[in-house]
Structure 1
Amino acid sequence: MKMKKFINDPANLTTELLEGMAMAYSDILHLHLEHGNMVVSNALDTADRVTLVTLGGTGHEPALSGFVGDGMLDIAVAGDVFAAPNPVTCLEALKLADKGHGVLFLVLNHAGDMLVADMTMKLAKKAGIQVRKVVTQEDISNAPRENGEERRGLAGAIPLYHICAAAAQAGKSLDEVADLAQRYADSMATIAVASRCATHPATGASFGDLGDEDMEIGMGQHGEGGGGRQPMKTAKETIAIMANALVKDIPLSKEDKAFVMINGSGATTLMEMFILYRDCVQYLNGLGIEVVAHMVGEILTVQEQAGFQLNIAKWDDEFGTFWATPARTIAFSQ
């Protein structure tokens, strides 16, 4: 089936996407293109604190650049569609972000991103930049918790951005903010399900074919298989499978508090997402777990893939305090 998308030249996807974003939200962010594609928060100009930088490919909008703004990311270095940017651009982003208090470098665990991040850290050390790197790797489908370095980073990075940015605004040191980021990363887990695969917007290539009656639990955000292909189930049945796996992995117990995210993959309707959120809250309440914070919507997408990511984090008062801090980005306000 021929791809149908409202684009121009596929070779210019990233440039045109970022230009349009900057035009539409000039009150929140701007582009810094001297050394590559950087999306920069306008709030960085007056920042006197630890700052936050991330990197990643485009094609997952609103993530990651849509979470640049006041109270979240200071800079997102954007690669081409589903591709990591280069380390030189990332180094320049760290230099631009550094306001004398150090920089927290946040990376989702994917092979290309990790390779670039490791090279960037070596360059930053030579340049004398004070930087800490924290990796999010919470996808339970491709490795057990004890092999966390093999787990993919999914949408759970997004609430972490806000919690860490709020801690930085509160005057926390780089080590304190980085330790908080690691603690949050360790407190959460994510699993995804897809019912229809996406196409690559530059090539038209399909990520796979799930047919008319199947879904796959554990599919990654670039079409990576999860080994959980099975007949399509209801929202409640699907949540029971996924939430049960996350509760065991974190783990969560009776009287714990939790954060829940339903992240639509691109073609899942808001109707479905609200039903899924309802079912997840009821499932957790049935275990004696209270849901005290949440995100529902398209947060980190996979083009027109149908499905969602379920992210759950074990919550505490410190996370809650920073979560309640005001923030404003294209895709998030608090």
Structure 2
Amino acid sequence: MKKFINDPSNLTKELLEGLALSNKDIIEYVDGELIVNKKLKDADRVTIVTLGGTGHEPALSGFVGEGMLDISVPGDIFAAPGPQPCIKAIKMADKGKGVLFVVLNHAGDMLTGNLTMKALKKEGIKVAKVVTQEDISNAPRENGDDRRGLVGCVPLYKIAGAAAASGKSLEEVAEIAQKFADNMATIAVATRGATHPTTGEPIAVLGEDDMEIGMGQHGEGGGGRMPLKTADETAQIMSDALIKDLSLVSGEKVLVVINGSGATTLMEQLIVFRKVHNYLAEKGIEVVANVVGEVLTVQEQAGFQMMFARMDDEMLGYWNAPCNTPYFKK
């Protein structure tokens, strides 16, 4: 492992300090626990909180700011935080209109999310929880509660943030966020696993000429190990799986995200996106919005996540609304 780090025990604190210092006009690092939107104090609307482990930069804390998240509760590398900082964050975020709490479907995140909701219910805090669980590789759609949360959380922050900024109620924001969550699907591919930066140990190992379609963002197996294929072949395999899962048909509109996992070049991601765009066009499916780049990484894992989301005029309007965060601006 070759990484420019200091004491591994200080990784989380130091990376969050760096994030806040490099974006002083947008966010602040509060009490060594939370990344907070600097304009939160003026928020007369529903606010949005999320939680999750660090090590996936720029996700999740890099999307705190106007029009997306209000507070991110980061845990240590690849580890969920406990419920106490989440309870603190939601109380801080509540400006009288309620709080949307977005949780990715991973065991630690879900345990913390459920304990947080239980504690807040006793205190009468108005909060609604939405779970993102769009990884099609580890469970069929009818068993959606077993699906992992991948990069789809980030566009959901954008949709929910815009709905909140438009003055929607908590119930309405939660309904819009859930509608988007129900209409998105993600699949990942890896050609090389990452190392854990605090231990130097690999979190996944693949053969020299292998790739795995379906690998999770913590090295979880996806069952799709095969010899390395070309960009076009890989893009078509993954696109077909997403089209099938979402039951997309000619005439529909989609958001496409090609999310680099950390060690896949932008050149490769753009080549993949080109194939996806043209392949969908052949099927009469229009790409009306897209993101190509590193959104949610897994240290230096090589590969990418591909996400499709069904879009309508309402969702496209929220997507195109202005926002200002360290790593996403419109």
Cα distance in 2, alignment partners of residues 114 and 67 from structure 1: 20
Query: Does residue 69 of the first structure (1) align with residue 65 of the second (2)?
Result: yes
> Which of 286, 292, 297 is equivalent to 1:301?
297
Distance in 2 of aligned mates of 1:74 and 1:143: 31
Distance 2:168 2:68 in 1: 15
TM-score between both structures, scaled by the size of structure 2 = 0.99
State how far apart, in whole Å, the 1-side matches of 2:33 and 2:293 are.
26
Question: 2:160 aligned with 1:164, yes or no?
Answer: yes
Q: What is the aligned partner in structure 2 of residue 315 from structure 1?
A: 311
Structure 1 residue 208, shift from structure 2 partner = 2.2
Whole-angstrom CA distance in 2 between matches of 1:301 and 1:317: 30
Question: Which of 259, 279, 284 is 1:283 aligned to?
Answer: 279
Alignment of 1:225-236 (within 5 A): 225-236=221-232
Which residue number corresponds to residue 203 of structure 2? 207
Is residue 94 of structure 2 the alignment partner of residue 89 of structure 1? Answer: no
Counterpart residue number, 1:137? 133
1:252 aligns to what?
Answer: 248
Q: Amino acid of the residue matched to residue 232 of structure 1?
A: L
Q: 1:182 aligns with which of 161, 178, 183?
A: 178
- C-alpha deviation, 1:276, in angstroms: 0.7
What secondary structure sits across from 1:84 in the alignment?
Answer: coil
User: What is the rounded CA distance, in whole Å, between the counterparts of 1:99 and 1:20 in structure 2?
Assistant: 28
2:76 is aligned to: 80
CA distance in structure 1 between the partners assigned to 2:101 and 2:71 by the alignment = 10
The partner residue of 2:49 within 53, 57, 70 is: 53
CA distance in 2, matches of 1:309, 1:142: 14
The C-alpha deviation readout for 1:180-226, integer Å capped at 9, x for no partner, is 00000000000000001100000111012212211000000000000
The amino acid that maps onto 2:26 is I
Quote the residue 1:22 is aligned against: 20
CA separation in 1, counterparts of 2:223 and 2:163? 38
Amino acid at match of 1:26: K
Among the aligned pairs, what percent are the same residue?
A: 65
Distance, in Å, in 2 between the alignment partners of 1:71 and 1:122 is 27
**What SS does the corresponding residue of 2:39 show, helix, strand or coil?**
helix
Tell me the alpha carbon deviations over residues 237-292 of structure 1, each in whole angstroms, 9 at most, x when there is no partner. 00110000000101210010010000000001000111111110011111110000
- Give me the whole-angstrom Cα distance separating, in 2, the residues matched to 1:292 and 1:257: 6
State the one-letter code of the partner of 1:221.
Q
Is it true that 1:42 corresponds to 2:4 in the alignment?
A: no
Partner Cα separation in structure 2 for residue 113 and residue 160 of structure 1 = 17
| Cα separation, 1, equivalents of 2:175 and 2:192 | 38
Partner of 1:13: 11
User: Equivalents in 1 of 2:167, 2:315: separation in Å?
Assistant: 16
Tell me the distance in 2 between the aligned counterparts of 1:303 and 1:258.
28
Structure 1 unaligned residues grouped into runs of 5+: none
Could you report, residue by residue, the CA deviation over 1:95-148 in whole angstroms, capped at 9, with x for unpaired residues? 000000000000000000000000000011111110000000000000000000
SS at match of 1:107: strand
Distance 1:134 1:251 in 2: 23
CA separation in 2, counterparts of 1:206 and 1:237? 27
| Structure 1 Cα separation of the partners of residues 325 and 275 of structure 2 | 28
How many residues end up aligned between the 2 structures? 330
Counterpart of 1:120?
Answer: 116
Larger deviation, residues 302-311 vs 36-45: 36-45
Partner SS for 1:79:
strand
- Give the Cα separation in 1 of the matches to 2:199 and 2:70: 31
Give the SS at the match of 2:290. Answer: strand
Single out whichever of 321-330 and 138-147 deviates more from structure 2: 321-330
**1:4 aligns to what?**
2
How far apart, CA to CA, are the structure 1 residues paired with 2:63 and 2:136?
A: 24
Rounded Cα–Cα distance in structure 2 between residues aligned with 1:120 and 1:32: 19
- Equivalent position to 1:148, from 144, 149, 153: 144
Structure 1's consecutive aligned runs of 4 or more residues displaced over 6 angstroms after TM superposition are: none
* Structure 1 vs Structure 2 CA RMSD: 0.6
CA deviation string 1:44-86 (max 9, x = no partner): 1210000000000000000000000111000000000000001
Q: List gaps (5 residues or longer) in structure 2.
A: none
Distance, in Å, in 1 between the alignment partners of 2:306 and 2:92 is 34
Match of 2:29 in 1: 31
